[in-house]
């Protein structure tokens, strides 16, 4: 079954919490089409100077974090199982913004047809849209910031999660209570200024499933580029080891090899990348390109 959600007073929120009531409950296999705001709850394109206040939607929550849409409950989802989220489509709106050093640096005009963006200085970049936040709340009660990524998703900011990807996450709470937001028209690994091209998305289509045969301890994704495992930590060493540990497990599962063989194969076939270094908790990810191990 197909469903749709708009960013409005009923669906918008600026935090994660297991106490939020779902705005929609779906069955495994159902798809939800979203429209999302940019991360700053903007009401339209940014037109002011570096220190000007941006226009915001009436639903903006002062003191909140990213503008999220949801949460969506998935029937049968419970701790101990894996939530599967397939990204069927990600279509950006026609404008976006990049910030550095606390001020607006680049205001972008986006062309979703040619998949290019052009800023006020005349620079042009190719777009590769994805959602920065895809995730569920921690099990602990209360309000939780949207800024740090967590092992059950959230602000992952992994540029590999483009359309055609399936993200696998360990479920922390009954129903999953999944939210999405923080659209990025394009981002480099590291997200070094703290932002990508932050933009609304006119269409984000996600299909949900619940898996009892694919256990994960953190984010794992099957993407057009290959298999991706993600690690999080206080520093890049910790994040990298966590991503590698998950990749060793995945290679063992996919190819039926021992742990030591998986480590050896990973040294030949796996690329380690910096996901982001700007969200309080840093991220690294490993990529096993399709067809490298046969």
B/e letters for 187-212, b = 16+ CB within 10 Å, e = fewer, are: bebbbeeebbbbbbbbbbbbbbbbee
Domain residue limits at 117: 2-81+88-163+171-210
List the chain residues with pLDDT less than 70: 49-52, 63-64
Residue 214 CA, distance from chain mean position: 20
Provide the number of structural domains found in the chain.
2
Classify residue 276: in a domain, yes or no: yes
Give the pLDDT confidence score for residue 64 in this predicted structure: 65
Give the pLDDT confidence score for residue 101 in this predicted structure: 77
B/e letters for 125-151, b = 16+ CB within 10 Å, e = fewer, are: bebbbbbbbbbbbbeeeeebebeebbb
- Given the structure tokens 């990529």, which residue do they identify? 287
* Neighbouring C-beta atoms of residue 39, cutoff 10 Å: 26
Both 272 and 204 in a single domain?
no
Both 133 and 253 in a single domain?
no
Both 6 and 76 in a single domain?
yes
Both 241 and 135 in a single domain?
no
Give the pLDDT confidence score for residue 50 in this predicted structure: 56
* CATH number of the CATH domain containing 150: 2.60.120.580
CA distance 137 to 207: 19
Tens-place pLDDT, residues 263-276: 999 999 999 999 99
């Amino acid at each position: 079954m197909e469903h749709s959600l708009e960013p409005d007073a009923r669906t918008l929120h600026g935090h994660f919490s297991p106490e939020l009531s779902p705005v929609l409950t779906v069955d495994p296999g159902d798809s939800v089409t979203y429209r999302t705001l940019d991360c700053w709850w903007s009401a339209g394109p940014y037109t002011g100077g570096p220190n000007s206040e941006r226009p915001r939607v009436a639903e903006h929550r002062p003191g909140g974090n990213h503008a999220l849409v949801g949460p969506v409950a998935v029937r049968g989802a419970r701790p101990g199982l894996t939530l599967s989220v397939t990204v069927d489509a990600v279509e950006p709106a026609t404008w976006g913004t990049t910030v550095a050093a606390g001020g607006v640096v680049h205001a972008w005009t986006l062309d979703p047809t040619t998949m290019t963006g052009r800023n006020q200085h005349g620079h042009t970049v190719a777009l590769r849209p994805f959602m920065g936040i895809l995730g569920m709340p921690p099990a602990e009660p209360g309000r939780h910031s949207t800024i740090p990524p967590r092992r059950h998703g959230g602000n992952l900011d992994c540029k590999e999660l483009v359309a055609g990807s399936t993200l696998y996450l360990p479920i922390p709470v009954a129903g999953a209570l999944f939210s999405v937001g923080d659209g990025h028209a394009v981002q480099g690994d590291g997200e070094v200024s703290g932002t990508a091209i932050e933009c609304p998305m006119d269409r984000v289509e996600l299909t949900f499933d619940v898996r009892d045969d694919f256990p994960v301890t953190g984010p794992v994704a099957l993407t057009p580029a290959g298999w991706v495992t993600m690690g999080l930590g206080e520093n890049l060493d910790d994040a990298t080891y966590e991503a590698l540990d998950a990749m060793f497990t995945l290679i063992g599962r996919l190819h039926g090899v021992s742990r030591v063989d998986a480590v050896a194969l990973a040294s030949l076939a796996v690329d380690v990348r910096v996901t982001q270094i700007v969200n309080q908790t840093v991220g690294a990810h490993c990529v096993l390109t399709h067809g490298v191990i046969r």
